[in-house]
Every structure is written in C-alpha cells, then in structure tokens.
Structure 1
Amino acid sequence: MSLPAAFLAEVERLIPPTRRFDDPLSTLAFGTDASFYRLIPKLVVRVESEDEVVSLLKLASAEQVPVTFRAAGTSLSGQALSDSVLIVLGDNWNGREVRAEGAQIRLQPGVIGAQANAVLAPFQRKIGPDPASINACKIGGIVANNASGMCCGTAQNSYHTLAGIRLVLADGSVLDTEDPASVAAFSSQHAELLAHLAELGRETRANIELAARIRHKYRLKNTTGLSLNALVDYDQPLDILSHLMVGSEGTLGFISAVTYDTVPDHPHKASALIVFPDVATCCHAVTVLKQQPVAAVELLDRRSMRSVENKPGMPEWVRSLSNSACALLVETRAASDSLLQEQIAQVMASIGHFPVDKQVDFSSDPLVYNQLWKIRKDTFPAVGAVRQTGTTVIIEDVTFPIECLAEGVNRLLALFDRHGYDEAIIFGHALEGNLHFVFTQAFDTPEQIARYAAFMDEVAQLVAVEFGGSLKAEHGTGRNMAPFVELEWGHDAYQLMWQLKRLLDPKGILNPDVVLCDDPDIHLKHLKPLPAADALVDTCIECGFCEPVCPSKGLTLSPRQRIVIWRDIQAKKRAGIDTTALERDYQYHGLDTCAATGLCAQRCPVGINTGDLVRALRARAATHTKTATWLAEHFHQTLLAARFTLHVANGARLLLGAPRLARASAALSRVSQGRVPQWTPAMPQPLQRLDLPSPRSDDTRPRVVYLAACVSRAMGPAAGDREQQPLLDKTRALLEKAGYQVIFPAQLDELCCGQPFASKGYAAQADAKRQELIDALLKASRGGLDPIYCDTSPCTLRLLQDGLDPRLQIHDPVRFIREHLLDRLDIQPQAEPVAVHVTCSTQHLGEAQALIDIARRCAREVVIPEGIHCCGFAGDKGFTTPQLNQHALRTLKDAVQHCSEGLSTSRTCEIGLSSHSGIDYHSLVYLLDRVSRPLAAV
C-alpha cells in the first residue's frame, strides 16, 4: 500500500527535497542494514532536528503511518529496517557535552561511540558500552539496543550507566529528565501514562515469581524483549520510563539525547592468550577468572582459531593445536604499572592449577597486545571472507549461566554438526557466559530456509528453555528473535511487554514487528539476498563499518550502498530485467561521486576496497584509449597544457576578478557536467619555471633523489596564498638545509607515477608510466643507493603498491622527514596553531600518527578536525565534481577557524582544503622549514 497523500503532502512541507528520498535507487540503498533482512522503505527522510522528529511523529500518529529510526545501520537483528517510512539521522545530531571533569557526558544520538571516547580520553574516562562496532555505531543505536561489548559486562551497559535521557514519544511529546521544566510539563500532560507505569511497576514487584524471574534474567547479559528490569529496579514512573527506552530498539520512542555516567579508562593494560586442552577445562577456568581483576575474558573455540591460524602474525603453534583445544584471551587493566603487574601475578596464580596446552604470556607491549586482539577480532570476518558467494553471514548472540558454559558450548557444537554448519565458529565474552556463534546460510530455496528455521528452533529451546539463558545478549531482539520472546520469558512477562508497548505506542506506529510480533515466522521473511556481483566485493557482509570514513556518504552513496546497488543491478540483469534507469542513476551516485581512495578497505572486516570496483567499472567505460596513450607518451606536452590552462585561469582572474570568475566557472562547470573545471580562489597559479641543477661531482654531501610529482611541477601557489615560494623550491631548500645534495631524475617532465590514468580507468597506460618512472628512479638513485623523496603522498603510495623493485628506497614526505631530517634540524615550535589533514594515502602508508607527531614538534597547538577522513578532492574530482569535495569538508571551517594554516602532503588535497576552510593549506615542509635551522654538527 502507498503512503497516505495527506501524509506525503505534509512531509514535503516539513522536509526539503534534498533530505527526502523515494526513488528506487535510494530506497534500495537505505533498505539495507547489517542484518540479513531487507525491507524497502516507501520514503526515507533524513532529519536534522528534534523539531522535525516531533512533527513527523505527530503526523505519523495522525495518519497511522509506521516509522522506523536509524542511526548507523550496524544492527544485526533487523531492527533498523522499514517498508514504510525510514527516519535517518543527519549531520546535526553530533552534540556532546563533557561534565564534571569527564564523570558524565551528554551525547546526541548521532555521535559515533568512538568519538565519545575520544572526547573523554583526556580525562581517562570512557562510556561503559564497548561494542565491537564502536568505530561505526552511534549513540542512538547503542542505547536503543543496550549494546555492551567485550569489557562492558552488565554493570557498565547503557541501562546501568544512564544518568539522564531526552526522548520523544509516539505522539510527539518530549521529555528531558534533566530539565525540571520539561519534567513538570510532561508530568502534568501525561499524568495518566505515568500513573499506569507506576501501577505496572507495583504489580510487577508484588508478583514475587515474576519479579524473581526478571531479576534472574538480568543477572545475565540480556537484550531479549523490553527492559522489564525497569519495573523492578525503580518505583518512580519517570525512572521506569527512562530505563524502558534503553534496549527498546525504537519501538517505544525516539532518543534525542542521553547522559552517561562514564567509567574509568585505565591507561595500563596487558593481555594473554591461554589455550586449554578442552572446552570443559577452559570454561572451568572462566568461573575462576570471574573472581579476579580481569577486564575481559574472550573465549575462542578451536574452529574460530582455525579460521585465523594462517593470518600474518599468528603464532606457528596455533596450527598444531588439537581439535578439542579452547582458548581464553584475558585482559587486565590498572591505573599504574605496578598495580598491573600485581594483577597479572594474581590472575595467573588463580588458574595455575589448570592444564595448559600453549600460551602467550601477559604482555603490555602494543605489538603483542594488538596482535592478540587481532586474533579475536579477525574471527568473524574470517568466516565472512571464505563463505560461498550468495550466502550470508549470520552472527548469533546468546548467554548461558556461567556455571553451564562448558555444557552450553558443547551442545552448540553438536547442533552445528547435526544441521551441517561445518564452518560455524564460537567465540564470546566468557565472563558473562555470552557466546557469539557465526555461520553462513543461503536463503535461495525453501529447503535452505527450512534448515535455518529448524536450527533456530533448536537453539531457542536449548538456550532459553533448557538452560534458562538469553537468546539475545547484546545484539538486540530485532525481527530475528521476536518470535521467541515468549518462549524465553513466559506468558506473563510477554504480556507485560505488550502492555508497555500499547501504553507508549497505542497506535503501533513505532518500528512494528521488532521486539514484539504476532507473526511466528517473521524471522523467516524479508530475507536479504546477497547475489554475486563482482569478485572484488562479493565477500561484503554489508556491515556498514566502512561508512564513517567515506566522503560521499550523505551526498550520494556509501561503500556499503554502492555494493548493494551493484549487486541488485547484476541480479536484475541475470533475471532479464531492464536496468537502464538504475544504471543511469548509478553512474552519478555510484561512480562519479566515489573518491576511490580506498579508506573503506581499512575499516572493512574483510578488507574490501570499494574503490577497486569503481575503478574497474570506470575502466569498462574508458573509451578514449588512443588519447590516453598519446598523453602518456607525450607527458611533457601534457604538463605544458596543464600549465597553459592555469595561465588562462589566472588571466581570467586578473581580468574578471575572483568573485565574478568563481560564479562564472561554477555555472560553466554545472552546464558542462564537470568537463569545465570549477575555479576557486585556491586555484594554483602555473609554475613559472623548473630550475633543476645538475649534480656536482665534487659535492660530498649525502645524496637524495627528489621526485617532484607532476602536480608540483605544474602548480604553483594560489594568488592569495601568503606562501609564494613553489613547493619544489621550498622542498629543495629544506633538504639542502638538512645537509643533503638534491638530485633530480633525468627528463623529469616526462615522468609520472600513472595515478591520473589509473583513476580514469586506463590501467595499461598507468602501469607503463609507473614502470617508466621506476626505471628513471633506479638510474637517478644509482641503483637504489640513494634514498628517494617523493613530495606527494598519493604518488608514493601508487609507486609502492603492486610490488616495487626492492632496491629502491622511496619515502613520502612524512617518512623521509621522520627518518632523515628531524635529527639534522634544530626545531623551535611556533606558537600559532595549525590544522593537520591526514591524506588517505598517508593513512594507507601507515604514517598518519607520524605526521601528527611531526606537526606537534613544529607547533605548540595542533588541530585534527574530527570526522574528516578523506577530503574528497580525489585527484581532479575537486574540479570536475566539486560537490564531493564540498560535502566531505562541510564541517572543516568551524573546526579550524582559529588556526593560522593547515598542513597536508598532497597538493591537490590542499586546493580543496584551502577552498573550504578559510585558511591556507600547505605541504608539511613549509612549516618545518619555517621553524627549523641546521644543527651545528651537520
């Protein structure tokens, strides 16, 4: 059924068209979250204020239109999907307020969990919940799902660390529990509702059997159903209401702000990996460790260790473990190193009597520590990476009473064998009896669905009935466990949940079929297909971990959504469905606005670089092969043409004036669909000359080969830049100041790393230019004897990718400065604050922190703008698709307004950064040169 016309008309009045989506591409893209379900919304609305939410809920209530809220879409159980109206958080939900020296923090629902912890880090505090998705999931989802994690347990989840909440009910009423005026108004206007909540609380507490069952259930990790513990833990109706919202998965209201009591984030920590001979011994050790000063105890069964045993850095002995082996990854944390050592000794003594097959001793060395945790974190994606194309990865999340953990693990293993899930693995938060099990499942045939249904029926019976555990420990009930809520809780508790739902959402418009549902087969419906699309992306599990670093998310599509749409296009083609319109829309949303810088691969659990897919698709449409070949073979003329274009643009600026030229070029760029580049005041002037001295045979200084990128050879500073010395001259001067003889490769203007050709889909031409450059660098560096300095990080990355002659020592600016210049210069840091942009290539090269560290040696105050991971300039897209650069940097100006300048390591990135920040961005070498002088000994 379509949405009511009156509803749509009012939504059009409330929400601008740029934040309403009802086209097939957008609704399909938003119809996907991290779960294995798919519902296609009829309308997607991106909201930017609480007032908009209030208005939409009042309207939805009046017209009885179901709505679902979504924060990051990393939920695993189908709770962030809708076939009606999907309300998605926009940019303006990112507020945070630190209180009482970090003891509390007030957060809006759009804040990413890791961002909240970054704000609290200076106070050595953090929020209690620590889900595995904390780098992607948002506070709204963390609270609504009562997410926990590896170190959170039950004591530090959102329910137990909630200090205040601001919420919007289904009828649009607002309550802020920290605002006395709001409390008074709400209490007056909703006296009957609060009286009902108070009465339900009294009845529940008076029902001895039910109250005892509730208390027992919440001694375990438990997110199955609504938070009935609110009725026994609190007697004041406002407290009951506040805590009912936690874990309600958007079925009782909208959370517009939350205040947490924070928890300590101890700076000293150590981890050990201990392998026991069998599951029983391992689980018995857990019961002992439960009484020890441990922050986390993660269980890994033999199958999970086998899934990662061939990963780089894994101990050799993992491969030789017995089939019955079971491991614990144990972490302890302390406020001081001496206390940490005491705790390590205490923990090891407590389990000293257990037989151990192998172990990695407790270590606080970051290399060892991080490698151990990588073993644990790689288990889930390891299953996803090897699954058969077309199957989905399902991760379930149950809790056994800890005294039954060993038997529970063995019974689950037996269920896997009985139902043929040979690839299934078990790992989890053993201290809480919380186990995750991961398996792959196809839903293409009735037989496959029946197999899954039978398995889930047996899991529910085993966990909820036989062991009295919880079917959902921390992932939320969603649609996945909604049919089993009554089985787990019993009739009385289940009916009580329905009473609460009908009291707070009498028209049933909030996220129907989630948590509570009358359909016993809802978990078997709306199953998401994962058809083959391209080997580059077929392992994608659509988790959304990639989205926070994508510059086009919110403008067009995220990497996850690009894959979703491409999968659908390929499936439709195989089915003989016309995809012309969808592919036409995909050209802009999927291809033209993708920066293709590959940051998504760094966040992806299975290492997918969606940019690889985009480049492959661009290559299919790259029809100007002869032109590309001519440009590659006559690169000197190509550079001359680039300089001439910049001359023309500079002449137009002098003739028309900057404001008029900016307006005219913007209009031309739009009309030409990006073929005419857009001019901005940050547009470089042409480099006037290339003064490249020949090496002197009598020069005894150490040599460095300076590879000036083609952009450095074509582009000088912008006309309004305070720094008017070209990068090439500035870099050479700095290298000479540090005592180096600077050598340039022969015929430099013919050389290019090939990146401009690769980004356009001309791989053959790109590879030819890269090889030509490598040959020239071998000659210039005397067969690799001399180090090579490349002044642009993207070019360095391009040269280092796909294998490089091992004789060559190629450095990007950060690495060369770190390894070769800092010890040769006397640095006096400046007082003026500087902003640092870590380019995508710098991140890929592993030099992000080094860049920040160098900046901090050169300036007393360094600003790293939050949430800007990629500038979106992407070579030339800042000229041809300027909206991508503008969107990626939409928050930059406010973040850097008090800085004197910005730093980067890519000339093209600096153009976009300067355009959208209000300050000039330069290469790092400008700052280093300004604040340094030669050491006397050099």
Structure 2
Amino acid sequence: MSCRPAISPAFLASARAVIPNERWFDDALSCLAFGTDASFYRLNPQLVLRVESELEVVSLLKLALQHQVAVTFRAAGTSLSGQAVTDSVLLVLGENWQQYRIFGLGEQIRLGPGVIGAQANKWLAPYGRKIGPDPASINSCKIGGIVANNASGMCCGTAQNSFNTLAGMRVVLFDGTVLDTEEADSVARFRQSHAALLRQLAELAQQTQQNAELLAKIRHKYRLKNTMGFSLNALTEFSDPIDILSHLMVGSEGCLGFISSVTYHTVADHAHKATALWVFPDIVSCCAAVSLLKTAPVAAVELLDRRSLRSVSGKAGLPPWVKTLSDGAAALLIESRANSPAALQRQLTEIAALSAQFSLEQSVDFSTDAKVSEQLWAIRKGTFPAVGAVRETGTTVIIEDVTFPLADLAAGVQALQQLFDRYQYHEAIIFGHALEGNLHFVFTQSFNDAEQVARYDAFMQDVAHLVAVEYGGSLKAEHGTGRNMAPFVELEWGSAAYQLMWQLKKLFDPKHILNPDVVLSQDKTLHLQHLKALPATHALVDKCIECGFCEPVCPSRKLTLTPRQRIVVQREISHLQTTGQAPARLKQLTKDYAYQGNASCAACGMCSTACPVGINMGDLTRQLRSKDNQSWQPISRQVVTQFAKVTQLAKLGLRVGQLAYGVLGKNTPMWHSAMPTANRMPVLPQQTGLKPVLYLSSCSNRVMGPAKGSSDGRSLQQVSANLLAKAGYQLILAPDLASQCCGMPMQSKGQFAAQQQQQQQLNAWLLHHSLQGQIPIFSDTSPCSLTLQGKLDPRLKLYDSIDFITEFVLPKLTLSKVNQPIALHISCSAQQLGQADKLMTLLRACTEQVVLPDNISCCGFAGDKGFFMPELNESALSSLASQVSECSRGVSSSRTCEIGLSRHSGLEYQHLMYVLDQCS
C-alpha cells in the first residue's frame, strides 16, 4: 500500500491532458506489475505513466512541481538497490526513446535513454567500437539507467564508465527546462535563464577544491569504483558549470533530473581475445596476482572464491577438477584482447611470465577458442543464478557490491567470509572485478519475520563499518546507492561531503519531488522498509528473482505484461488466496489477469532463454490454462481422434474466407491479404536411386498453402521434395499423415492429456513408417520440432528442416546468389533449437544481403492467437516494417509466423526452403 498522501486531483486532471488513456495506469494490477524492479524493495505506485516524448516529461515535471507530486523515472527496472520504485508517480519509458546517431567512424554515439546497452554495441560493431560501460545486465538494461547509475561492469573499470566517457547530454531539470550541452543555442539560453544555478555550482566547485581534506577524500574515493552518493568528482574535475552539471547527472539515479539523451565517446572493441582460468591455493596468493596483473595487458580479471566455484561445479562443460579443489582455493578468470593475433600473442607471453611467480593449484591455459572462452565465462556468469536457483522459496537473493583498496583485497575477502559465518549466511559467495578491488557478494535472505530483518540489519551495519570505515572503501561500486545504501552515505563520506551532497540536491530539486529518499535520506532505517516478499506461487516460477532480464524478448511487453510482471502478479494472487486478505483486491487482480497475464501470453518460451535461472513463464501459463479449461478436456480428446476431419474443416474455412475476401475485400472480418489459401496436398514424384526420408509435414503446412497471388504458388511439400531431391533424397508422404500432429495446439491450451494422446499416436505412426527408426524423419516446421524434443522413441531420428538441410543438403547443392536483400525471421522455436547461426548460414548462401531486424524475438502469432488476438502479433512486430522496407522478400521456418510477418511488413514471407530451391 502507498505511504504517501493521495496524489493531488488537480495534478491528475492536468496530467490527463498530457498522457492518453492507453498509457495511463492506475489500476491495482498495473501498479503492482509496473512498480516492481530488480531490487529487494517493493513500493506500489499510485500512478504509472508511460512517457513517449521529452515534451511529455517536461509537461509532467512542471505539473509535479506545481502540485508537489513526487516522480520517479524507470528505464528497464534492472537496478538492484531500490532506485526505481515509488509510492507516488512512476514515469516509465515507452518505445519511442530508441533514437541513435553514430558520429565519424564510430568514435561517438548519441543514444536515447530507451536503447538497450547491447543494442548500442550492435550498432557500433561494424566500426570495431563499443560503449564503455559493460554491466552484466547489458542485454536488458537501458542507456538511461546505465548513465543514471553510472553502471560499469567486468571490463569497464573506472576509465571507461559513463562519467569518464561522456561527450554530451540532454537533460530535463525539475522545472521542465531542457539543456542540451551539445547545442550552442541551448547552452547560451540556459546560461542566461539559469545563471543563478550555474553560479552556485561554480561556487560549490571552488569551495570544494579549496577544502584540502574534502578534496583528498573525493580523489581517493574516485580512484576506486564508487557509486555511493552523488558524483562529487564533477566538482573537482571540471571548471565550466555546464560540464559540472552534466557530470553530476551521471550516477544521480533520477534525483537531479531526467536524462533524455547522452553522447558517449566510444572505446575499441578488439576482435581477438584469449581467456584463461588460474586457480590459487589461497586467497592471499590470488590477490597478490591481481596486483601484478593490474599493470599487465589484460581486459578483465574476475575473482571467484571457493564457494563461487563450488556453486557452479555441476555446470556442463566445466573441468571436472572444479569439484575437487581445496577448501581455501580462489580463482582468477583472465581475458586479454588485442587488435591483431600477433599483438595478442605478445600480450599473452607477457602475462604468462607473471604466472610463473605463483604456484597454481589448477589452471586452464590461455585459449583463443571461442567455446573454451564461453565455458570459462559460464563459471563466472553462473555464480549469481546458481545461488538464486537453490534458495529456499520465500527468500530473496541479495547481491551487494563493494570496493576495497587493491592492497586490502585479500583481507577484505577474508573479513567478508568471516561475517558470512558469523551471521550464518553459509550459502554466500564472493566474486568480482578484481582489478578494481570490486567484489560482489551474494546471499539469500528471508524478510518474513522481525528476527530475519534484524539479522540482515546487523549484518549490513557490520559490512558498512568494515568496508567504509575500516578499509576506506566504497559500499557501492557500480549498482548505485538507491534506498539500500542511502542511510550509510554519511558514514562512508563524512559530514562535509554529505552536506555538500544535500546542497546539490536542494539546488537541483528544491521541492524534493525527484525520486525522494533515493541516494540521500534522513531516515537511517530506510534500508529496512518496504522489503519485498517473494511468496510461493508455483514451483515452475518460484525461483524467479524478478531481475527483468526476460523482458526484452517477450512479445507481449508492449501490449500487456512481461514474464517478470506476470510472476509478480501471480505471487500476489497466491498470497491473497493463502492469507484470505483483501478479497476485493484478489477478485480484481484475478479478473484483470485473465487477459493481461493469461490470454495475451504467447507461451513461446523465449523468456527462458534470457532468464538467469531458466524459468519459462509459458509453462506456468499453460498450467493456468489447463486449470481454467478443464471443461474442454472431452472436446480436445475428441479433436485428437477426429483430427483429419478437423483439418479438412480448417481448409474449408480458408476457402470460404478467400471467397469472402474476394467480394468484401478489407471489410471481411478477421481476414487480410496475407491469409493463406487452402493447401492441396500434392502427390510427390517418385524417383529411383534416392535415399528415403519420411516427411512429417506439420498440420499448419498441410492446411495452409501460400497466400493468394504469391510469387511462388507451390506448396511447401512440393518445394521440400524438389530441394531434397537435388541432394539425393526422396521425401515420402506416408498414409494417414492427415491424422497426425505434434500436439502443440493442445499443449498451448493446457490440454495436456490430449497432447500426450496425440504424441503417442504420432510416435506409433512414425515408428511404423520409418521402419522402427531406420528411415530419417524430416520435420518442416520449427515449432513442431521443438515440441517433439524428448517426447519420441529414441530410435526415431527426427530432424528439423533447418538442421537436415544444413547437415545433409547444403553441402551437395550448387547455389547462385541473388542480388537482393532478404529479411530473415528467426522464430522463437528456431532460437530455442539453437538454429540462429544455421539460418544465417543458409540464407547467406543465397544472398549477401541478409537483413535481421532488431528487437524482434518472437513474432507473437503464437499458433492460432494471430487469428483471434491479432493485437499481440501487431504489437510484437510493430517495428518490423521500417526495418525491412528495402527487402525483396522474407523467410522464416514456421507457416503461422509467416502470416503475421507478411501482414505487418508488407513483404511476402515464406519458408527458407523456397529461396534455397530457387537459388539451387
């Protein structure tokens, strides 16, 4: 519940004129869902507004100032310290903040705050450049959050963080004033309109630089990785108050203004790299090696204590000796990068000379093999999720990050381990960016009773004194101060620096409306308030840590809810059901979830590919559908037994629809030009001397032919047979194929008994016609191939079309490339089958101009949802048309996906086999 007074009705009335209804959220479900971030705090906003323009932000800040309403900005919500939650108004970035512009040969890039960090690097990759910050959440977090938290990462250090690579910024202040530091006119106007503010900044900078003790403190703090408090080094490193202002915004966590764009100086992204793992018998020798490596040509040095190594010892592909290391062992994961193989080899020789000074317990020598590198990084990246995966249900995972002076790194690790033992955090692990003395420690914590909260408080008080007082380190190296460390800012910085930060806060936010209580708070118990409970809801999702990594790949993210938000709401529903509390709230949440959470979930499983602990929200959605649709079970079983007749009815429906469309055109309900014609199953020509392959053509491809007026009107069965014959294979359409199905339509609706019945029937059919597995099986649709993984008799050799063509067909073809750009859609099923590289290879064999649209993972057609819930497909593909406008055609590996792709792109999408057949 909210702790703040209700928002002023006058503010609400005025804000209604700024934000349209479809981006205005004040219902219980939306406020709960949008109000959650990756931290272990939860506040329910009273109002969530999705903002799409700087003008909207300007208007809302003016209204907030006028009516004294607190506002908090949210980008991706991957922050860990509670800086993106509020009990007032939450302004969430919409989709229209993804602008970018590259300058020169990639030396600079200007980015909107809604750009995901990894996307910025993708744009820069052709130039051999990248942005400096490289947080672990870079595939999910957005530029606005990266800058506002001064996030860094494994290779970034302090030299390449946002503060030190900032080239320019556009910012909106509390009064709605916009300053663009890269526009001379904007700067000139601002110098005139805000002369008093700039004068005060200059005076504070002068006073700071004249205070020898404070100046020494600031310089010491920023030799370390440090995001505690505001960026006071802006006052010591710059003289122009415009520069001071823009650099104060870095790491300000939305407390001083809104960052509407940022320009970075980019850094080199060397293509050649080598990775090694050195394991030392103890932490002392491990940290001694770090000091030597500090001056060596290394890009990353990651420290892992013994508990970290033990937590991931069961991961596939890791050396078996990881399980048998001594109790005191500690490891360094080391990576070196260079712009050429020769330069890299010189660097490795230099680094190898250092290793001779130590006695290693185990090691993996430097390797340039990408697979070896991936396995080694899997150790490091698997540590945090490993703790999350084994935590008790009802507990949360807390990840803290501190910095020790490098000389005290070994002592710091040992002291932290002693605190873990004292407070009985026996599962706690330590890893981190060793070159900077930056350690992350992860532990699980229950907040279900006062005793557990008291244990957490005592532990954090001891950590704060250990790091900030005893060793003069930083309590927040890169995760931001947030609510978590706001009570400890004065302890770390001292009174003079603390009061200086309050002066800056009052200068930039005199009415205290910008993210109050974040970074600075008068409440010394703030870190113990609004602690997030994670009640059990279902074993399939109880391990969720609400990090938000899943959100960028979810097809419903722009329409309704994301996987994280679905789990948040399900947890609340389960909690209310268990406790019997707030029956009216429970009823409303359950009602709203029916569409927002259940019906609009594509259940595609893409969330599992980005989740640190592998959670597939689609699995829970299917379970919920099963529970809700129990009355359908007799009907679904009848459908299975009469499946051939059902497909005939579907064909009839397509014929009727096409006839109606020919008469009524766009007025035909649920119809459009990309809809398929009814397929006429062909008789495949029989040729002698070819190897037999049993053809499992999906029900969708048996029912649906090409769209009317297609450039290639052949059925997929004809195309497949023709293509495979060129490589010496004869596709066999066996009797009673019309009655077969992989079971996916039943699975997606939660009809598991019917699904199992269908798959058992198919299994028997495949065994019979493949001669008990002697003949390979060719599946022409990637969703069917994925559905059947692990469900069939192991004697059966089932190949998805993409895998079969790559392995057996492509090597035997002679291909003539077309001089045309072709769009490629890698379906969610193909991605989960690991076929992305294969699809690229196959299409590049046909054209040099492959276009793979950004930010489209699943198309959202989701089986039959594209017919009955077209808004999901439309939302998921909203950015497609502009990205493929220069293409001649599109390809994929799923017929239903191709319908939606064709409709929303203006191109004709067909199975990749059409292009391969035409080019071979």
TM-score normalized by the length of structure 2: 0.98
Letter in 2 for 1:367: K
2:452 is aligned with 1:448 = yes
Among 919, 926, 930, the residue aligned to 2:907? 919
- The corresponding residue for 1:582 is 589
- Deviation string for 1:533-579 (max 9, x for gaps)? 00000000000000000010121100000000000000001111322
Distance 1:350 1:731 in 2: 58
Aligned-partner SS, 2:226? coil
Letter in 1 for 2:43: L
Correspondence for 1:747 among 736, 748, 759: 736
Structure-1 separation of matches of 2:39 and 2:151: 15
Distance 2:884 2:498 in 1: 53
Does structure 1 conserve the Cα–Cα contact (< 8 Å) formed by 2:759 and 2:791?
no
Q: Aligned with 1:461: secondary structure?
A: helix
1:707 is the counterpart of 2:689:
no
1:156 maps to which residue? 160
Query: 2:232 matched to which residue of 1?
Result: 228
CA distance in 1, matches of 2:148, 2:110: 16
Which residues in structure 2 correspond to 1:586-597 (within 5 Å)? Answer: 586-597=593-604
Secondary structure of the residue aligned to 2:223 is: coil
Deviation at 1:692, TM superposition (A): 4.8
Question: Who is 2:856 aligned against?
Answer: 868
The answer to whether the aligner puts 1:902 opposite 2:909 as a matched pair is no
Structure 2 Cα separation of the partners of residues 654 and 550 of structure 1:
36
Letter in 2 for 1:343: Q
Cross-structure match for 1:612: 619
Q: Give yes or no for contact 2:117–2:140 (8 Å, CA) kept in 1.
A: yes
Q: 1:41-74 deviations in whole A, cap 9, x for unaligned? A: 0000000000000000011011110000000000
CA distance in structure 2 between the aligned counterparts of 1:488 and 1:576, rounded to whole angstroms: 44
CA distance in 2, matches of 1:680, 1:687: 17
Per the TM alignment, residue 25 of structure 1 is displaced from its structure 2 partner at its CA by 0.2
Q: Percent identity of the aligned residues?
A: 59
Contact 1:424 1:440 in 2 (8 A): yes
The match for 2:350 is 346
Q: Report the equivalent of 1:127.
A: 131
2:875 paired residue among 887, 893, 904: 887
Q: Match for residue 512 of structure 1?
A: 516
Distance 2:642 2:81 in 1: 56
Q: What is the alpha-carbon distance in structure 1 between the residues aligned to residue 277 and residue 735 of structure 2? A: 54
- What one-letter code is carried by the residue in structure 2 that aligns with 1:792? T
Give the AA of the match of 1:375: I
User: CA contact under 8 A between 1:745 and 1:776: conserved in structure 2?
Assistant: no
The question of whether the paired residues in 1 share the 8 Å contact of 2:558 and 2:876 is answered with no
Q: What is the aligned partner in structure 2 of residue 638 from structure 1? A: 646
Amino acid at match of 1:737: K
Between the aligned partners of 2:170 and 2:489, the Cα distance in structure 1 is: 28
Q: Deviation per CA, 1:731-761, whole angstroms, max 9, x where unpaired?
A: 1121123221221233110111111111111
Counterpart in the other structure of 2:400: 396
2:677 aligns to what?
685
- 1:675: which partner in 2? none
Once the two structures are superposed, residues 625-670 of structure 1 have per-residue CA deviations (whole angstroms, 9 ceiling, x without a partner) of 11111110111111111111111111211232x2121xxx1xxxxx
Q: Which amino acid aligns with 2:150?
A: N
Q: Are the equivalent residues in 1 in contact too, given 2:77–2:84 (CA < 8 A)?
A: yes
Q: Which residue of 2 aligns with 1:141?
A: 145
Question: Given residue 46 of structure 2, which amino acid in structure 1 is its aligned partner?
Answer: K
Look up the SS of the partner of 2:394 in the other structure.
coil
Q: Which residue of 2 aligns with 1:497?
A: 501
- Residue 655 (structure 1) aligned with residue 663 (structure 2): yes
Partner SS state of residue 806, structure 1 = coil
Instruction: Give SS of 1:218's match.
Output: helix
Range moving further from structure 2, 456-465 or 893-902: 893-902
Confirm or deny: 8 A CA contact 1:66 1:512 kept in the other structure.
yes
Query: 2:52 matched to 1:38?
Result: no
- The match for 2:424 among 412, 416, 420 is 420
In 2, Cα distance between the equivalents of 1:498 and 1:110? 29
Deviation at residue 860 of structure 1 after TM alignment: 2.1
CA RMSD between the two structures: 1.0
CA distance in 1, matches of 2:679, 2:733: 17
User: Structure 2: which amino acid aligns with 1:701?
Assistant: L
Deviations 1:578-597 (CA, angstroms, capped at 9, x unpaired): 22221111010111000001
- Aligned residue among 278, 284, 291 for 1:287: 291
Q: 1:215 aligns with which of 219, 222, 226?
A: 219
Report what 2:766 is aligned to. Answer: 777
| Cα distance in 2 between the residues matched to 1:124 and 1:219 | 28
CA contact (8 A) 1:743 1:780 kept: no
Asked whether the equivalents of residues 721 and 730 of structure 2 are also in contact (C-alpha less than 8 Å), the reply is no
Distance 1:518 1:274 in 2: 45
- The reply on whether 1:549 has 2:553 as its aligned counterpart is yes
Letter in 1 for 2:619: D
2:807 is the alignment partner of 1:819: yes
The CA deviation at 1:782 is: 2.6
C-alpha distance in 1 between matches for 2:37 and 2:272: 36
Give the whole-Å Cα distance in 2 for the aligned partners of 1:471 and 1:720. Answer: 65
Render the CA deviation track for 1:116-149: whole Å, top value 9, x for unaligned: 0000001110000000000000000000000000
Which residue number corresponds to residue 857 of structure 1? 845
Could you give the per-residue CA deviations for residues 777-831 of structure 1, whole angstroms, max 9, x where no partner exists? 223223323322111100111111x343332222222111111111111111101
Q: How far is 1:717 from its partner?
A: 1.2
Contact 2:690 2:725 in 1 (8 A): no
Task: Tell me what 2:866 maps to.
Answer: 878
Higher mean Cα deviation, 411-420 or 570-579? 570-579
Once the two structures are superposed, the pairs formed by residues 169-248 of structure 1 within 5 Å of their partners are 169-248=173-252
Q: Runs (4+) of structure 1 moved beyond 4 Å?
A: none
Matched residue SS, 1:14: coil
Aligned with 2:22 (options 18, 38, 41) = 18
Which among 717, 721, 729 is matched to residue 718 of structure 2?
Answer: 729
Paired amino acid for 1:334: A
Q: In the alignment, which residue of structure 2 is the partner of 1:672?
A: none
Q: Return 5+ residue gaps in structure 1 as ranges.
A: 666-677, 933-938
- SS of 2:318 mapped into structure 1: coil
Q: Which amino acid aligns with 2:319?
A: P
Number of the residue aligned with 1:602: 609
SS of 1:835's equivalent in the other structure is: strand
2:821 to 807, 829, 833: 833
- Say whether the 8 Å CA contact 1:288–1:351 is kept in structure 2: no
Cα pair distance change 1:689/1:705, threshold 3 Å: closer
Give the Cα–Cα distance (whole angstroms) in 2 for the partners of residues 574 and 581 of structure 1: 16
How many residues align structurally? 912
Letter in 2 for 1:653: Y
**Secondary structure of the residue that 1:384 maps to in structure 2?**
helix
Kept in 2: contact 1:551–1:887 (CA 8 A): yes
Give the CA deviation at 1:388. 0.5
Aligned pair partner of 1:47 in 44, 47, 51: 51
| Greater mean alpha carbon deviation, residues 805-814 or residues 102-111 | 805-814
Gaps of at least 5 residues in structure 2 are none
1:355-391 deviation digits (Å, cap 9, x = unpaired): 1100111111111100000110000000000000000
Native 8 Å contact 1:293 1:343 kept in 2? yes
1:257-306 deviation digits (Å, cap 9, x = unpaired): 00000000000011111110001110111001111000000000000111
Deviation at 1:776, TM superposition (A): 1.9
Tell me whether 356-365 or 572-581 shows the greater mean CA deviation.
572-581
8 Å CA contact 1:744, 1:780 repeated in 2 = no
Counterpart amino acid of residue 246 in structure 2 = S
Q: The residue matched to 2:220 in structure 1 has which SS? A: helix
Residues 77-107 of structure 1: per-residue CA shift (max 9 Å, x gap) = 0000110000000000000111111110000
Q: What TM-score, normalized by structure 1, do the two folds share?
A: 0.96
